[in-house]
Amino acid sequence: MVFLLKMKPFKKAIVFKIEYLQRFMQQTTNQLIAGCKKGDKKSQLQLYTNYCDAMFTIACRYLRNEEDAKDAMQESFIKAFGKINNYESTYTIGAWLKRIVINQCLDVLKKQKLIFEDLDDVEYEFEEESDWYFNDAITKKEVLKAIESLTVKYKLVVQLYLIEGYDHEEISQILQLPIKTSRTHLRRGRLQLQELLNETKVKTNKEIIQQK
C-alpha cells in the first residue's frame, strides 16, 4: 500500500510532463504555421522536416513506385505552402497535409488512366461496416499486403476507410464518387480482402504442416 501511495504522485508527474510536452509541441507547430503564412523559408523547411517522412509513408500506400511517391509528397508540400493561408486549426496540420498528399496521389493515378465503374452500371450494395472480422492468426503485415493486391478502385476505398479513418462522406469528396458508390466499393473490397486473407491463411497452415 505504501508503494502504491508513492507511485501515485510519480504517475501524476509523468502525466503532467506529457501534457506539458504536448502543449509545447503544439505551440511550436503553431509558430511554424504562422511563419509559413508569412512566407518564412526557415519555418517552411522546419515544417517539411517534421512531416516529410510521415507524408512519404502515406504516398507510398497509394503509389507503388517510390520515386512517384517522393515526387507526389514534395509536390504536396509545394501546394500546401501555397494554400497555407487557408489552413484553419479545425484540423491538425498533419491531417490537413495528409488530405493534400492523398489528393495529389489520386491525381497521379488518374493520369495513369485509373477509371472507376460507370456510375450507371453500379448495382448498389450496402456495407455492414462492422463486419471486418479477420482470423486472429493473420498479422497486420499480411492485411496490408493483401490490400495492395485488391482491385485498384476497391483498394483506394478500403485504404481511405480502414487505414486513413475517413468516413463515406469524406471518401466521396476525395474520390468524387456518390456515397452509395463508396459503400458498394467498400463492401466489394472487404469481400475481396477476406478472400485473399483466407487464401493466405490456408497457405500458412500448409507451410507449417510441411515443416513438421
Residue 119 confidence (pLDDT): 40
Neighbours of 178 (CB within 10 A): 14
Q: For 159-172, what is the mean pLDDT?
A: 92
For helices 93-111 and 168-175, give the axis angle rounded to 10 degrees: 50
3-state helix vs strand vs coil in the chain, percent to 5: 75, 0, 25
Q: Decide if 155 contacts 148 (C-beta within 8 A).
A: yes
DSSP 115: -
Q: Is there a contact between 73 and 22 (Cβ–Cβ < 8 Å)?
A: no
Other residues' Cβ atoms within 10 Å of the Cβ of residue 172: 18
Number of other residues whose CB lies within 10 A of the CB of residue 193: 21
Comparing 8 with 145, the larger pLDDT belongs to 145
List pLDDT tens digits, range 12-43.
Answer: 554 444 454 445 455 678 899 999 999 999 99
For residue 201, the model assigns a pLDDT of 60
Confidence label for 141 from pLDDT (cuts 50, 70 and 90):
confident
* 70-84, 115-129, 138-152, 190-204: range with lowest mean pLDDT: 115-129
Task: Read off the pTM.
Answer: 0.72
- Which of 36-45, 46-55, 135-144, 183-192 has the weakest average pLDDT? 135-144
Q: pLDDT tens across 40-97, in order?
A: 999 999 999 999 999 999 999 999 889 999 999 999 999 999 999 999 888 899 999 9
Q: What is the DSSP letter of 144?
A: H
- Judge whether residue 8 has pLDDT over 90: no
Half-sphere exposure of 99 (CA within 13 A, CB side): 13
All three cell numbers of 138:
493473420
Contact 73/63 with Cβ under 8 angstroms? no
Q: For the beta carbon of residue 30, count every other beta carbon within 10 angstroms.
A: 12
More confident residue, 195 or 16: 195
The per-residue pLDDT for 211 is 44
Please state which of the ranges 40-44, 131-135, 157-161 shows the lowest mean pLDDT. Answer: 131-135
Go through the chain and tell me how many residues it has.
212
Residue 73 CA to residue 183 CA, distance in Å, equals 28
